[in-house]
Amino acid sequence: MPTGAGIANVVAAGFLLVVAQSVCAQGPGAGPEYPSVMGMDSRLAVWIAAQLHLMFAAFVLAVPMFALFIEYLGWRAVKNDTGEARRYDWLAHEMARLLPAAYSLTAITGALLGFLLFTAYPRFMGYLTGIFGPTFVVYPLFFVAETFCLYFWYYGWDRLQGERKWLHLWLGLLLNIFGTIVMFIADAWATFMMTPGGVDQQGNLVSLYDAVWNPGWMPLNIHRLVANITFGALLCSAYAAYRFLMAKSPQDKALYDWMGYTGNLIALFTMLFLPFAGYYFGFELFAFSATYGVTLMGGVLSWLFIIQAIVIAVLFIGAAYYSWLGLLRIPGSEAQQRWSPVFNVALISGFIVWATPHTMAASIEESTGGFHPVLGALGVMAPKMIAVTLVLVVLYASYLLYRRAGRVPIVPWHRIGTVIEWSALGLTALAITALGVYGYFAPAEVRIKTSIWQIIVLIIGIVVTFILDQLLLRGAKTVAEVRWGTLPRRGQYVLIMLAFVIVWLMALMGYARSGARLNWHVFGIMQDTSPGAGLPSLGEVAVIITVITLIFFVLLAIAFAISGLAKARDSEPGGGRHSPGAVTDGGGA
């Protein structure tokens, strides 16, 4: 499997290069504009292939990032002689073990997507190749480099230990750099379709640099980096949950419980910044063309964001519930557990505000242009910004409580330090609310600035209180160790549910980003005149993205099964070189 998978990746990359070069040779006007592909609906076929490719690409980009970080922690643990090195190295290797088969599926779905695009939309792809021709040559080269780094990094894990561990870390770093470059190149193509730059009014190339660095390019890069890490972490958590449910020995349950907790913690942390990365991308879209603002927030796609709010509510509340449930692992954590109902009410209240539309035309007055007296106030962006930012404060507060469970600070100033810490977090929430209320009554340009300041205040509050918490818990006395492996089974079902939700949400917002262009291949330059142009109904969209999600999980399950078949006995958590031993403390919290 390893050799065949590597060959599949290289062949897929070569296939894309050959197809791109052939289209360049034909010219953008060659052939019919929208030929059929074996009689199937071209748009639907491209939609499914593109979304599956993006999902696998997100997974294989994110997993090496936090696997490398965890491996680095293990390496540092060896240098500091903390005794945790084997546990961290096992976790990093367990995450990396999911990659080879998934990486091959990424290449295969990418090759399928390239075939469908160049076959069903030759004129459009000819134009895009004419604009980005040099990048179409560079892209497969970085893809091949990423492929070789992945396989040397993964299959050289045992050989590159001890004094040669630094070389293994460098391979992992190169893998992440090449993977990020590949994503950045592909993002340039996608964002050019939405916010074209570097071309004149007729669409002729003026500057390749400006075509790549178009207004939406860097915002989408940042948004996808953050979202991909959340996506990959939750999928790894779901895998850990499955292994926990199938495990027989207490030691295996403890290890996979810790793996699921770590994945959820990474996801929870990145989710704190995900909404703001999305706002940044949306801000650049609206600045490029007001049409995007009307279409997304006040037009045909506006109801998608009501659905998005509900789905994100499930995602955030589910991740928080798993964290609160984790308190059951820690004896004597009743003081922290009693805050869970309060936080739950705060989360639900925040999401009610976030999901409230400006108007639902529920009365004659509203249908003629009037607004509901309550919905009219909660349906605009200012209160929604307050709500979602305070939700993130609550999630962060839940994490701080979990860190404190079972641990008693011993620093002399811990009482006043604790008061300062929670006062600072309370002042953060108060400042966010005050800025939002002020922005509600202020002009639009001031309101935008107050939204930015809310984000800045949140980040400052998190950084300050986290540093203070680290100082407070330095050398803290452990009065109750975390009993890994004792989490109720419903916690594992929550992790599996969160994985399904994040995949479905990713498919939904992928449709929203692409659908915002309406009937344009390249916004304002090249129209889509195919029979499939135009937007499907929301019901059809929901069915299609649900089918895509199910297909993805079937393929991912196959990839994980192949990885399991290739797993040697000495990599089992119960014994061998990768066995970390029992998890006995609160490490990772």
pLDDT at 544 over 90: yes
Which residue is it, tokens 């570097």? 198
Residue 585's pLDDT band (cuts 50, 70, 90): very low
% of the chain residues with pLDDT over 90: 31
Residue 66 has a pLDDT of 86
Q: Could you give the angle at the alpha carbon of 453 between the alpha carbons of 197 and 431, nearest 5°?
A: 160
Rounded distance between C-alpha atoms, residue 2 and residue 382, angstroms: 52
Q: Look up residue 537 and give its DSSP letter.
A: P
Q: 3-state class of 291 per DSSP?
A: helix
- b/e 5-31 (16+ beta carbons within 10 angstroms → b): bbebbbebbebbbebbeebeeeebeee
Rounded distance between C-alpha atoms, residue 234 and residue 254, angstroms: 18
- Please give the structure tokens belonging to residue 461: 């509050």
Residue 477 has a pLDDT of 82
Give all strands (DSSP E) within 115-185, no chain letters: none
What are the backbone dihedrals phi and psi of residue 521, each rounded to the nearest 5 degrees, phi first? -70, -55
Which residue is it, tokens 């070569």? 14
Residue 113 has a pLDDT of 92
- b/e 367-379 (16+ beta carbons within 10 angstroms → b): eeeeebeebeebb
What are the backbone dihedrals phi and psi of residue 425, each rounded to the nearest 5 degrees, phi first? -70, -40
Listed in sequence order, the residues at least 6 apart from 46 whose beta carbon sits closer than 8 Å to its beta carbon are 113, 116, 117, 120, 121
Residue 31's pLDDT band (cuts 50, 70, 90): very low
Which residue is it, tokens 């279409």? 295
- b/e 286-305 (16+ beta carbons within 10 angstroms → b): eebbebbbebbeeeebeebb
Between residues 330 and 572, the one the model is more confident about: 330
Phi-psi region of 81 (alpha: psi -120 to 50; beta: other; left: phi over 0): left
pLDDT digits (tens, 9 = 90+) for 339-393: 888 888 888 888 888 777 765 555 555 555 555 666 667 767 778 888 888 888 8
Rounded distance between C-alpha atoms, residue 134 and residue 204, angstroms: 16
Residue 174's pLDDT band (cuts 50, 70, 90): very high
Which amino acid belongs to residue 350? Answer: G
What are the backbone dihedrals phi and psi of residue 532, each rounded to the nearest 5 degrees, phi first? -90, 5
pLDDT at 285 over 60: yes
Provide the pairing of β-strand 407-408 with 520-522: unpaired
Q: Kindly report the number of other CB atoms within 10 A of residue 568's CB atom.
A: 10
pLDDT at 589 over 50: no
Rounded distance between C-alpha atoms, residue 171 and residue 376, angstroms: 55
CB 261 within 8 A of CB 399: no
pLDDT at 398 over 80: yes
Q: What is the mean pLDDT of the chain?
A: 82
Give all strands (DSSP E) within 474-527, no chain letters: 477-478, 520-522, 526-527
Q: Which of 487, 562, 76, 50 is nearest to 254 (CA)?
A: 487
pLDDT at 562 over 90: no
Q: What is the 3-state secondary structure (H, E, C) of 93-126?
A: HHHHCCHHHHHHHHHHHHHHHHHHHHHHCHHHHH
Rounded distance between C-alpha atoms, residue 246 and residue 232, angstroms: 21
Rounded distance between C-alpha atoms, residue 325 and residue 327, angstroms: 5
Rounded distance between C-alpha atoms, residue 223 and residue 230, angstroms: 11
Q: Kindly report the number of other CB atoms within 10 A of residue 537's CB atom.
A: 8
| Cut 0.75: pTM above it | yes
- Please give the structure tokens belonging to residue 384: 């929604």
pLDDT digits (tens, 9 = 90+) for 182-201: 999 999 999 999 999 999 98
Rounded distance between C-alpha atoms, residue 249 and residue 253, angstroms: 6
Between residues 1 and 357, the one the model is more confident about: 357
Q: Could you give the angle at the alpha carbon of 433 between the alpha carbons of 427 and 439, nearest 5°?
A: 135
Q: Which of 306, 305, 300 is nearest to 534 (CA)?
A: 300
